[in-house]
Every structure is written in structure tokens, then in C-alpha cells.
Amino acid sequence: MTPVLEARNITKSYGHVRALQGVDFDVMPGEIVAIIGDNGAGKSTLIKCLSGAETPDSGEILVDGERVQFTGPDSSRQYGIETVYQTLAVSPSLDIASNLFLGRERRKKGILGTVFRMLDSKGMREDASRQLNELGILTVQNMKQPVDTLSGGQRQGVAVARAAAFGSKLAILDEPTAALGVKESGKVLDLIRQIRDRGMAVVLISHNMPQVFEVADRIHIQRLGRRATVVTPQTHSANDAVAIMTGAVQV
Amino acid sequence: MKVPAKLEGTATIEPTTNLASRVRNVLYAYPVIGPVVVMLVATLVFSLLSDRFLSPDNLSLVTQQVMVIGIVGIGQTLIILTAGIDLSVGYIAVFVSIVMANIAVSAGTPGIVALLLALVVGTACGLLNGALVVGLRLPPFIVTLGTMSIFLALSLYISGGAAIRGADMPDLLTWTGSAFQLGNTRVAYGVVVMVVLVVLVSYALQRTAWGRHVYAVGDDIVAARLSGIRTRRVLLSVYAVAGLLYAVGAWALIGRAGAASPQAAATLNLDSISAVVIGGTSLFGGRGLVVGTLLGALIVGIFRNGLALIGVQVLWQEFAVGALIIAAVALDQWIRKGSR
Ligand SMILES: Nc1ncnc2c1ncn2[C@@H]1O[C@H](COP(=O)(O)OP(=O)(O)O)[C@@H](O)[C@H]1O
Ligand SMILES: [Mg+2]
């Protein structure tokens, strides 16, 4: 089987900091791959290279086996790849619907849209509302409510919903449960399973070992800017994984 | 957007129900509530204290006094929405007014040509600010502090320090200061221009993708970029449109002052920022409305006019405007903090 997304020998430096030093990565269709690793191991940098938010210094990225060149955060979207960044990348003062459609707003049909550039705000609100309800993220919500007035978990929900709504192939989620309590984390985790059940592959960065071992099919262990190894919940325990992650065990 | 098959709604995140936070949420979503209330209260109080306040002549005067600040304030609003600030607005307006007058009077070109050229010059001035902010990644405060002096110097150079009288210009250039009768009030054409521009820019901000992107850039520029917005292009366009609006402001300035003078708009910088802030737009970017700035300009105008009518010294008018600014910023802080 061909991986939906594959990276070969990616390097990326920020000045003197060598964040990625030749990383390989792959995720198969319909698979949930977790990325774990210490702070600074290069997890976020890796997924930014995979989504086009950063340009690697060297290395190859392949989508469905074809080499691609991402030129910006929006270019991976054309391939059905959606990313929820660690910083969420929502616009707090815009409302829920505007955030869902941010950067890909839909215009009204006819002259209003083509000449007067008028947005189809109503249509987008209805779609956003239906999306969120069907994903079960927000119950009776006012789509005109600014995201700033939502709780951390609700915002997380909006960001994940955006990825679920627009992605067709792959959702990349960078620590989507980091700021959340146990209950809210559980909800986001349910959401990840729902996305997978729709047929999308998922890349999940998380520090929460029980969570990772619960949902992931494979676990990519990132250490000091490299891929230490890839394990599965069947072959390795959480303790094994942490030992590899911290360098207590060499592989 | 593709719509998936119905899924089991297990991961439900409940909406906020707390009443106090709901009040804040409403104020957050509708930033003009504050200025509307202030304006209504001020109008009520001054109309009780002075019978002249609501007279047609006085209302006509107040609107004429705010039209220049109102027009350039729209441009200032756009820039503040992107979390920037423009200290050069007053001198761009002065510079453009002098260029416009000079083209018409010294070179003897028709009014319409002078006006159109002036709009181009204003846009170019705004683009210069934008290019420095985007290209050199300098803070807008510093860029516009620098260009403020540059445009002042250029204004003095071109004018030789002397004013050009409106009487010597083509009628079109002073048209903004002439008025028509509406009911029993005289309304200056410049006021009509201001209202039309508020409507147009509000439409662009609220009803087009460009508008959403302006808010998103001011909100969190990194998030906007990660959402696929071309943030540099948005910023450049905002400064260019602001420059265009300043040029229209320059036109209104000639009409209002009856001349193009390098001394015409010393207070326009701070007055336009005051109008934006009192109008409920956040100095931190991402939140606010152009119609708020119109209200803010009217509030400043009403306070100055009302206090003068009841015989309060000028220094207390300034005091009142200062207090309003601080109150407006404090309210914004409260709304922002409360919502987090
Ligand atoms: N924009 C940046 N500028 C400079 N250094 C960065 C930047 N982003 C990440 N780094 C550095 O790269 C390394 C890897 O960071 P990151 O990928 O965020 O790690 P992780 O997500 O695994 O915690 C760290 O040393 C971090 O300080
Ligand atoms: Mg990270």
C-alpha cells in the first residue's frame, strides 16, 4: 500500500538550531499515527513541514506516492490534508462560522458574488452549524459567537472540526488535548476516532501516553531531531516508548 | 464543504451559560453598544442644558466639524484593526491637499484631474507606509512617526509655507465645504461623502472575504497565515486603502478650511485615533467597526460643541475627551480580559 503522506530525509534548521536532522515519516490510508517525543524533539517542526507551513531545507515529501512541493500552509489543503497547529490558528474575534471558513470563504452566487464579492454568510453559517452538530462538537450554538468567548475545549473543538470538515485524506493534529481537562480530552479523542471512521488518516502529536496507546495504530518516536523508531501498541508498552523517547534505551 | 453521514454525537462541548460572561460576550460581539450609549446620553444632557444644542444650525455645524476626522478616521480604523497605528494621517492629508491645490492652481489643470491625481498620490503615500511595515518588518508606530515628519517637510517644501486660498481653486475642490438644504438643516457635501464612505468600507469589512482577513490579521497574524491568508498582501492593501481615504479626507479638509494650508491639520493625527478608540475599536487589533469611528468622531464633536455652548472653558473640553479615551480603552480591556 502507498502511504497517503510520506517524508524522506527531511532537514530543517532555525539559525543554529537543527530542529530536524534527516527525518523519515509515513502514514497509511485510514491509519492513526501518533508522534511522541520530548519538548524540542522537533515534532511541531516536522508537521509544519508536512503541512507546508514551513519549507524544509532538504528532503522529499510525497502525497500518494507523488513528490510534491508545498509553498504555503494552504497548498497542502489542495491535497485534502488539514492541520490543527499547536497554537490552534483560530482568529479569536471572528465568529465560529467565519473561523471554520477562514481563508476559503464562499461567495454568493451570481452578480452579488462575482462583482460585489459578497460572502455567502448565511450559507456558511448553516454549513458550519450542520458540521459541528453532526460531529457532535457544539450543541445549540450561536454561530455568530466570537471564538474568543468560547472555552479552551470549545476552541479546540472548532479547530478540530475545521480539519474534519475540509479534510478528505489526512488530518494532522498537534497536541489537540494539551490544554484540556480529562473530560474534554476524551471528547477530542472521540472526535479523532470519528474522523478516522470517516476514512481519513490522522497524525496525532500528544504527550498523553495512555491516550496515544489507546488510539494509535503506530507510534513514531521523535528524539533530538530524528526518528528514533516506530513502534506499535501491540509490540511495545508505554514504558518502553518513554524509555526510547528519553534515550534510556537506544534503538 | 462535504457533509458526512450522521455521526453519533458523543463529543459534545457545552455552550457558555454564565450570565455575567454573556453580558461581556454581547459587548464583545457588538462593540458599538458603548459609543451609542455615550452619544445618546451626551445628546440628551446637552439638549437639556442648552436649547441651542439641537437647533438645525448647530447640528449642521457639529457634522461639518467632524467630517474630516470622520473620513480619515475610517482609514485609521482599518489600520488599527490590523493592530497597527498611523501617526502620519494628518500630514498625509495636508500633503495631499497641498498637492491637489497646486496641481489645480499652479498648473491650471481642471479640478477633476487634480482630484484624481490627488487620490493616486494619497494611495501612494499609504502604500509607502505599508511597504515599510511589510517589507522591512518595522513597527507601524515607528514607520508612521518617520513618514509623518517626511510628509510635513514635503508639505512645507511644496507650499513654501503659504496657504492656497479656496477661492483660487476650481469649484470641485471646495465642493465638500458647500452645503445643501435637508429639511431645515444645511448639510455639507463632505458629510455626505463621509457617510457614503462609512457604508462602503463597512460593506467591504463585513461582507467580503477581504474584510474577514483584515480582522484575522489584526487578531493573530500567525494564525491568519497558518489559515492560508496572504497576510502581507492584506496589510499592504489596508495601508493603500487608508491612503486613498486620507486623500478624500484632504478634499474634505480643503472644503472645510476653505484653503490648502500646511498648518491645517496639526490635531488630525490624535483626533482620528481618539475617534477610533472612543468608537469602540480595540487598539490591540481585530475588533471594532467603522461605524463606531463615525460615532466616536461625533461624540468628540458633541462634547466640544456642547461644552462650548454651555460656556465651559476650552481646557475642560480637552479634559472630557481625555477622560472618554481612557474610559473607552478601560472598557475594551475589561471586555477582552473577561472573555478569556
Ligand atoms: N520558529 C522557530 N524559530 C527558532 N527556533 C525554533 C522555531 N520553531 C522551533 N524552533 C526550535 O526547534 C526545535 C524543535 O522545536 P519543535 O518542533 O517546536 O519541538 P516540539 O514540538 O517537539 O516540542 C526547538 O529547539 C525549538 O526551539
Ligand atoms: Mg510542539
AA identity, residue A247: G
The reply to whether A133 falls in a domain is: no
pLDDT at B19: 78
The reply to whether A142 falls in a domain is: no
Q: Is A85 in contact with A165 (CB distance < 8 Å)?
A: no
Q: Which residues in chain B show pLDDT less than 70?
A: 1-17, 338-340
Ligand 1 pocket residue status of A16, Cβ below 6 Å: no
Predicted TM-score (pTM) of the model is 0.91
The reply to whether A165 falls in a domain is: yes
Residue A54 carries which DSSP code?
S
Mean pLDDT calculated for residue range A125-130: 90
Q: Whose CA is nearest to atom 3 of ligand 1?
A: A14
Range of the domain at A180: 5-92+152-246
Considering only residues A223 and A138, tell me which one the structure prediction assigns the higher pLDDT.
A223
Is A130's Cβ below 8 Å from some Cβ in B?
yes
A141-150, A222-231, B217-226: range with lowest mean pLDDT: A141-150
The reply to whether A115 falls in a domain is: no
pLDDT at A137: 66
Contacts of A195 in chain B (CB under 8 A): none
Domain boundaries B33-339, corresponding CATH code: 1.10.3470
Picking from A104, A105, A154, the nearest residue to B13 by CB comes out as A154
pLDDT at B340: 46
AA identity, residue B340: R
Ligand 1 pocket residue status of A17, Cβ below 6 Å: yes
Q: Which long-range contacts (CB under 8 A, 24 or more apart) does A188-193 make?
A: A188/A153, A188/A156, A188/A157, A188/A160, A188/B11, A189/A214, A189/A215, A190/A136, A190/B10, A190/B11, A191/A135, A191/A136, A191/A137, A191/A157, A191/A160, A191/A161, A191/A164, A191/B11, A192/A32, A192/A160
The fraction of chain B above a pLDDT of 70, given in percent, is: 94
Q: How far apart are CA A96 and CA B14, in angstroms?
A: 14
Q: How far apart are CA B164 and CA B106, in angstroms?
A: 10
Contacts of A77 in chain B (CB under 8 A): 228
Q: Is B85 in contact with B144 (CB distance < 8 Å)?
A: yes
**Does the interface predicted TM-score (ipTM) exceed 0.95?**
no
Is B225's Cβ below 8 Å from some Cβ in A?
yes
Q: How far apart are CA B286 and CA B215, in angstroms?
A: 4
pLDDT at A70: 94
pLDDT at A138: 62
pLDDT band at A131 (very low <50, low <70, confident <90, very high): confident
Distance from residue B41's CA to the centre of ligand 2 (Å): 51
For β-strands A170-174 and B185-188, DSSP reports them as unpaired
Contact at CB, A187 and B11, closer than 8 angstroms? yes
Mean pLDDT calculated for residue range A128-153: 77
> What is the number of structural domains in chain A?
1
Mean pLDDT calculated for residue range A10-21: 96
Considering only residues A183 and A6, tell me which one the structure prediction assigns the higher pLDDT.
A6
CATH of the domain at A232: 3.40.50.300
pLDDT at B31: 85
Q: Quote the Cα angle for B324-B328-B332, to 5°.
A: 170
Q: Among A132-141, A202-211, B14-23, name the most confident range.
A: A202-211
User: How does pLDDT run across A152-189, given as a tens digit for each residue?
Assistant: 778 888 888 899 889 899 999 999 888 777 877 888 88
Whole-number mean pLDDT of chain A? Answer: 91
- Domain boundaries of chain B, sorted by first residue: 33-339
Q: How far apart are CA A83 and CA A21, in angstroms?
A: 22
pLDDT band at A74 (very low <50, low <70, confident <90, very high): confident
Q: What beta strand segments (E) does chain A contain?
A: 5-14, 17-27, 32-36, 58-63, 66-68, 81-84, 170-174, 201-205, 218-223, 226-231
Distance from residue A21's CA to the centre of ligand 1 (Å): 13
Of residues B295, B54, B325, B269, the one with CA closest to residue B194 = B295
